[in-house]
């Protein structure tokens, strides 16, 4: 099957579940480009806690890093989160999300989502992480949002080796992927 764009696999879930590590490992394994989680760089540059006024800038930056990775891809691109994360966190923290961000998240839906479970230890990371006790609630918000969009989701849980094995298996059995 010939495609006009690469397969898009998104690593998603609540904070401190190994998304960035897994995204980078999968990208290296498959020699695929990986878009970073833009909000991390944004928060580092801002140097103070985020508020609702940051959501649109975060979303625009996320779109930019995703588009750059897609432009560099041939068969596969790995995303360390996507706009769905922006929607989930914006609704959770600020009670809503700009309509254009929600629409863009629907339009840019990935082909496969690896939803990482919060069953690994939480590790502090400055301002980047703030809710060690809220990860299960956020995990449920991610699951429900992905279900409401009809996304193809594989839940990934267990220790780091198990996560890696499950993720590789999910990608290797992907509908459009034959790597």
Condensed to tens digits (0 to 9), the pLDDT of residues 36-50 reads 999 888 888 888 888
Q: Given the DSSP bridges, would you call strands 7-13 and 112-116 parallel, antiparallel or unpaired?
A: parallel
Q: Given the DSSP bridges, would you call strands 112-116 and 153-156 parallel, antiparallel or unpaired?
A: parallel
What average pLDDT does the chain have? 87
CATH of domain 7-172: 3.40.50.300
Q: What is the rounded distance in angstroms from the CA atom of residue 47 to the CA atom of residue 84? A: 24
Q: Give the tens place of pLDDT for each residue, 79-126.
A: 999 999 999 999 999 999 999 999 999 999 999 999 998 976 555 555
How confident is the model at residue 168, as a pLDDT? 93
Q: Which residue has the tokens 């069953």?
A: 119
pTM here is 0.88
């Amino acid at each position: 099957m010939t495609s006009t764009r690469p397969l898009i696999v998104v690593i998603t879930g609540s904070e401190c579940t190994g998304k960035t590590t897994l995204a980078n490992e999968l990208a290296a394994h498959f020699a695929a480009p990986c878009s970073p989680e833009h909000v991390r760089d944004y928060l580092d540059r801002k140097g103070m806690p985020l508020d609702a006024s940051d959501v649109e800038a975060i979303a625009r930056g996320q779109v930019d890093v995703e588009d750059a990775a897609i432009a560099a891809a041939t068969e596969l691109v790995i995303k360390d989160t996507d706009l769905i994360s922006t929607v989930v966190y914006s609704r959770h923290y600020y009670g809503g999300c700009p309509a254009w961000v929600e629409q863009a998240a629907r339009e840019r839906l990935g082909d496969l989502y690896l939803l990482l479970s919060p069953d690994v230890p939480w590790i502090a990371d400055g301002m980047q992480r703030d809710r060690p006790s809220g990860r299960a609630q956020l995990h449920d918000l991610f699951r429900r949002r992905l279900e409401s969009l009809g996304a193809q989701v594989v839940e990934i849980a267990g220790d780091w080796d198990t996560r890696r094995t499950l993720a590789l298996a999910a990608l290797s059995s992907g509908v459009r992927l034959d790597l």
